[in-house]
């Protein structure tokens, strides 16, 4: 059923023998790319050609920015409460289309349908509702002096350029679109060329709810032809980018000459620390989830497991049992826990790290290649079974560079101090988790880990009010809750002196 199961009722998409043709959405109009060049999009699970998307260029970006500029004045005139109402309408409409979002996301990314339904679709709706509520609760600050009153105004920044990756397509796009709209900005969004489907669905929803034309514009395309002109465009005032660290560096260079507001959410190489007092049995599902959710393609995944030496063998045996029990297979099946990797190129990159691990002296304890016995329908898909590697030094390339796949490395430590030292041994600083019965000790350790987020006895347990972002090479700035509202606005002080 995969590959043939594409909804065909969407009016803006032309469906030709199961290959969907997507368009850009600019100034409220669905348009082909000016250059008439297209990018082929493939199903990760089967390798089938499932869509053609615009290979947009600077001409399309120029049109989209112009549309966003034209709409800016009208959009900024709405009150924050009115804009919150628009977000709520978008959330309602997305919620109606939950099953469709889940199907498209699973088809486009190769992720299990249950994950797409429970995480991607649910969170995309929740993002719009959350920021609608943030808008309704939003209060500007007043600072009184003995002879004057200071008022802080939060003005729109202008046109926001939003660039997103392929691993959590609508989840991450909605995380940017909702606060950007709420604070009065207009938008040009460029989603990953590998996962275009749900961005188009969002544009359809935005059209259906009747958001004024030009407030939200969508330009499909690759990084060099569409992403780079967007970040360089002189009328883009703000860039929110989520993606790899190397790309983030290019985006930062491009944005800096125009002094654009910039948020960079980049890669990670996160440590999962297993203290000697952990309750292995009850914590194991959480630890496996942290290792392999979305085939390990979550920036927050714990790809290095640091284990106290006194429980090393017992833990590794229990971990391998749990990993071997995972159901890898048809993403459309409700039972499936692990699906395919995003592309042939990414599968090859992950495999090259597994080869490197062997060269670096690692021992592949399980996985290391495509799943055995994968049905014929998936023979041309991009698969790697969950892979566990032992015996690497913590400073090896496989243990310090981001692999972003279903691969974890295991490392022993002798005390908390050594665990922290190993955890901090990479250029990245996004997230981490600590598993222990002594939550005070775990919390103290958490403070010493160089990363933006640390979970104790859980992982990816998200309260949308908290700051989200990385340190070191994992990013610049914070999004989430009031940090998003602040990033997507310009705080302006008006000081009125009393007589
Ligand atoms: P990527 O950097 O290759 O691409 C991300 C986006 O940037 C895509 O839309 C791409 O087309 C665009 N792009 C590429 N080159 C560009 C350029 N020169 N200028 C402007 N845009 C350009 O990343 P990816 O492979 O899509 O995603 C995986 C990476 O994203 C991993 O490193 C992962 O850790 C990271 N990520 C981080 C977070 C976070 O919140 N920190 C969340 C998800 C993913």
Q: Does 35 qualify as catalytic in the annotation? A: no
| CA–CA distances in Å: residue 138 to residues 12, 132, 149, 179, 181 | 36, 10, 19, 12, 14
Residue among 93, 204, 265, 402 flagged as catalytic: 265
Look at the chain and count its residues.
499
If pLDDT is split at 50, 70 and 90, which confidence band does 4 have?
Answer: very low
Query: Cα-atom radius of gyration of the chain, to the nearest Å?
Result: 23
Contact yes or no for 442/425 (Cβ under 8 A): no
Burial pattern 97-110, b for ≥16 Cβ within 10 A else e, equals: bbebbbbbbbbbbb
Q: What are the E-state strand segments in 2-127?
A: 14-16, 19-21, 24-26, 29-31, 38-42, 49-54
pLDDT (0 to 100) of residue 140:
85
Nearest residue (CA) to ligand 1, atom 26: 165
All domains of the chain in start order, with CATH: 20-266+474-493 (3.40.605.10), 271-464 (3.40.309.10)
Per-residue pLDDT reduced to its tens digit, 239-291 = 999 999 999 999 999 999 999 999 999 999 999 999 999 999 999 999 999 99
pLDDT digits over 130-172, tens only?
A: 999 999 999 989 999 999 999 999 999 999 999 999 999 999 9
Q: Is the pLDDT of residue 12 over 50?
A: no
**pLDDT of amino acid 1:** 24
pLDDT tens figures, 91-109: 999 999 999 999 999 999 9
What strands lie across the sheet with 38-42, from one edge to the other? 14-16, 19-21, 49-54, 38-42
Q: Which of 44, 119, 247, 347 to mutate to test the pocket of ligand 1 (most atoms within 8 A of CB)?
A: 247
Helices (H), 386-437: 397-400, 416-423
Residue given tokens 């709420």 in the structure block:
182
Element holding 216 (H helix, E strand) = strand 216-218
What confidence tens digit (pLDDT) does each residue in 307-360 have?
A: 999 999 999 999 999 999 999 999 999 999 999 999 999 999 999 999 999 999
Render pLDDT for 445-487 as a digit per residue (tens, 0 to 9).
Answer: 999 999 999 999 999 999 999 999 999 999 999 999 999 999 9
Q: Which listed residue (299, 337, 402, 479) is catalytic?
A: 299
Q: Going along 367-463, which residue ranges are E strands?
A: 387-390, 407-413, 431-435, 453-456
Pocket of ligand 1 (CB under 6 A): 163-167, 190, 192-193, 222-224, 227-228, 231, 242-244, 247, 250-251, 265-268, 299, 402, 404, 430, 470, 475
CA distance 97 to 18: 20
Beta-strand pair 475-476/363-366 = unpaired
Output the average pLDDT for the chain: 95
Distance from residue 467's CA to the centre of ligand 1 (Å): 20
Residue 17 has pLDDT above 60, yes or no: no
The residue whose CB lies within 8 Å of the most ligand 1 atoms, and thus the one to mutate among 170, 242, 243, is 243
**Percentage, residues of the chain above pLDDT 70:** 97
| Residue of 291, 324, 299 whose CA lies nearest to 409 | 291
CA 371/CA 87 separation, integer angstroms: 42
pLDDT at 499: 82
């Amino acid at each position: 059923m995969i590959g043939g199961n594409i909804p065909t009722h969407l009016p803006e998409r032309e469906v030709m023998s199961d290959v969907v043709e997507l368009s850009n959405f600019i100034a409220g109009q669905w348009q082909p790319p000016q250059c008439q060049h297209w990018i082929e999009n493939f199903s990760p699970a089967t390798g089938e050609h499932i869509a053609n998307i615009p290979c947009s260029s600077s001409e399309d970006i120029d049109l989209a920015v112009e549309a966003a500029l034209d709409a800016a004045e009208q959009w900024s005139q709405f009150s924050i409460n009115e804009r919150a109402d628009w977000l709520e309408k978008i959330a309602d409409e997305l919620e109606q289309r939950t099953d469709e979002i889940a199907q498209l996301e699973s088809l486009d990314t190769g992720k299990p349908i249950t994950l797409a339904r429970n995480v991607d679709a649910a969170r995309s709706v929740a993002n719009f509702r959350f920021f609608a509520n943030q808008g309704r609760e939003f209060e500007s600050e007043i600072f009184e002096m003995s002879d004057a009153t200071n008022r802080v105004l939060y003005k729109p920044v202008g046109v926001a350029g939003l660039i997103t990756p392929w691993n959590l397509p609508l989840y991450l796009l909605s995380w940017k679109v909702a606060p950007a709209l709420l604070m009065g900005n207009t938008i040009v969004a460029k989603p990953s060329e590998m996962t275009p489907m749900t961005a188009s669905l969002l544009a359809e929803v935005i059209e259906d709810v009747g958001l004024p034309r030009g407030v939200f514009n969508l330009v499909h395309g690759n990084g060099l032809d569409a992403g780079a002109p967007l970040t360089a465009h002189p009328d883009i005032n703000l860039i929110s980018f989520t993606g790899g660290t190397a790309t983030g560096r290019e985006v930062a260079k491009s944005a800096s000459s125009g002094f654009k507001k910039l948020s960079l959410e980049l890669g990670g190489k996160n440590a999962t620390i297993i203290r000697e007092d952990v309750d292995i049995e009850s914590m194991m599902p959480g630890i496996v989830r942290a290792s392999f959710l979305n085939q390990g393609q979550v920036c927050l995944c714990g790809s290095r497991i640091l284990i106290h030496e006194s429980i090393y063998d017992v833990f590794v045996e229990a971990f391998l049992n749990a990993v071997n029990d995972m159901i890898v297979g048809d993403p459309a099946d409700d039972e499936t826990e692990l699906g395919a990797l995003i592309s042939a190129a990414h599968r090859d990159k992950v495999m090259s790290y597994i080869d490197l691990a062997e060269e670096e002296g690692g021992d592949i304890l399980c996985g290391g290649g495509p799943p055995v016995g994968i049905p014929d329908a998936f023979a041309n898909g991009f698969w790697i079974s969950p892979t566990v590697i032992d015996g690497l030094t913590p400073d090896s390339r496989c243990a310090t560079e981001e692999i972003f796949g279903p691969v974890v490395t295991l490392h022993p430590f002798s005390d908390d101090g050594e665990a922290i030292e190993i955890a901090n041994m990479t250029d990245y600083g996004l997230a981490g988790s600590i598993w222990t019965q002594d939550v005070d000790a775990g919390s103290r350790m958490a403070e010493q880990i160089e990363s933006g987020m640390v979970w104790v006895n859980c992982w990816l347990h998200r309260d949308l009010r908290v700051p989200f972002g990385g340190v070191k090479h994992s990013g610049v700035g914070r999004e989430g809750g009031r940090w998003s509202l602040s990033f997507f606005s310009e705080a302006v002080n008006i000081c009125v002196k009393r007589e």
